[in-house]
Amino acid sequence: MERSALRLGSLSWTAAGACVVASVLCFHGAFQVSWATVLIIGYLGFLMELRRLPTPRSAFYAGLLVGLGIYVPPMAFLGSVFGPAAVVLWGILALFHAVFVLVLHRVETLAGTAWALGLAPVVWCGLEYFRSEVWWLRFAWLTAGSVFVDAPRSWLGTFGVYGLGGLVTAMASGLWMLFRPPLRRSGLWIGSAVTVAAVASIAIAGFRSPNREGMERRVRVAGIQLESPGVPEVLVALDGLVRSDAGVELIQLSEYTFEAEVPTAIRSWCRQHRRWLVAGGREEIPGNGGSPVPAGAALQVGSAQEGGRFFNTAFVVDPNGDVCFQQAKSRPIQFFRDGEPAPTQRLWDSPWGKWGVAICYDASYRRVMDVLVRLGAEGLLIPTMDLETWGGTEHELNARMARIRALEYGVPVFRVASSGVSLILDREGRTLASAPFPGPGATLVSSVALRTGGGSVPWDAVVAPICLVLTGLLIVGLLVQPFLKARRVPSTLATDSQSPTVS
């Protein structure tokens, strides 16, 4: 057998069960404990080992089990939101782990272990990017790279969340090739090269100095957590905030604070107190028909057309009481009454610098946030409505995406949620102020520095789509291969039947 075609023996069912358990435990250990981040390598290594199961079906189902073990515990709140339909959503999320293992199984069967492990980083990066950014049910939480929120900022700032996931997969592949006895000879050089390249890339990025050029302008910001408040409740909260901190210049409220545009009483308050205000509301689309849905019922499961067509919008009110800027949500949440997608994305050119405005779930998507940073955003405002009934885990996971964006782009992030977790983060991803969940009425205040020139987009903005295309071509090739093989067999038999026989 040639070295490139070397294959390891089949995995026993006992060993496969151990790999499933070990992979799930490694992921949750890496995700929950900051000093155990290195376990993410074990998560991916044990997952890849499942490719050695004897049949494609067994490899697929083993990968599916790992996916369910990854997603069901932290996403249990989907059960309270969608009821029995949550089982389908958990299964769809787990499907990507199953496809990953199945693809590696087929590659190993056809081309050998070295090819399977060598292609694993590309396939993983491509599948994560597709799952998180491309198809309609995109869902960007709990990616492999998201465990690095406590690592040096330059890691996520250089490679991005998808790039780091691919690098860690490369590290797991290289280590597997180095230390598995049957592969020590054939995979020594490949494994060494892959491992050294991945480790060196991450290490070099760790020593990268952040860009500190540009003029710095500071603004004192404050946020108030209010879920479905009335106008009198908002006015009381605003009065209390300026009494406690008279230096506040920019105040932010949550997504869907108001049922329509900012009410006249709130705009009059801004004019009287000479304050800037960012608040969520709704911009009705003319001629939409239907009666408006109350703001408190907006993020409930239902048809997007119920209550008429509208834009889920963040409004900026200036000290004259006028709405000077507004931005609609780019990615309304699937299955919810969350409005129409924004037709455009723009920056708010404030007195202190250029702010990009992303509403709640928008912050989960690199394809949304990259646009704002490329436009020159020097800071990010993220009004959010995380319902208190969804539970603490959902709040923590959604807030984690804001921290990842600060680390990736190197710009401050100001996130205010209706009932927590709210955050003010500097450009290094450090927490300047926070408000907890549950925390109705809680406030957070801090000074934020905006630097001219804005942030930068990580490398995976280019690399991840390339990996997606390569993964798609690989999957198509694997699907077509059996048909090509079936066509070759009859022609071979026909040739053999025409060969002269020797008596």
pLDDT score, position 3: 39
Give residue-wise pLDDT tens across range 116-135.
988 999 999 999 999 999 99
Alpha-carbon torsion 187, 191, 192, 194, what sign?
positive
Give the model's pLDDT for residue 113. Answer: 84
Q: Between the CA atoms of 399, 401, 402 and 405, what dihedral angle is there, to the nearest 10 degrees?
A: 170
Separation of alpha carbons 169 and 97, rounded Å: 13
Over residues 409-418, the pLDDT tens digits come to 999 999 999 9
Note the pLDDT of residue 1.
Answer: 35
Give every CB contact of residue 18 below 8 A, 6+ residues apart in sequence.
none
- Going residue by residue through the chain (503 aa), what tens digit of pLDDT does each one get? 333 445 556 888 899 999 999 999 999 999 998 889 999 999 999 999 999 999 999 999 999 999 999 999 999 989 888 889 999 999 999 999 999 999 999 999 998 888 898 899 999 999 999 999 999 899 999 999 999 998 888 889 989 999 999 999 998 988 887 766 555 555 555 555 666 666 666 666 655 555 566 788 999 999 999 999 999 999 999 999 999 999 999 999 999 999 999 999 999 999 999 999 999 999 999 875 555 555 555 555 554 455 578 999 999 999 999 999 999 999 999 888 899 999 999 999 999 999 999 999 999 999 999 999 999 999 999 999 998 888 889 999 999 999 999 999 999 999 999 998 999 999 999 999 999 999 889 999 999 999 998 999 999 999 999 999 999 999 999 998 877 777 665 555 455 555 444 43
pLDDT of amino acid 336: 87
Q: Among candidates 66, 136, 133, 58, which has minimal Cα distance to 96?
A: 66
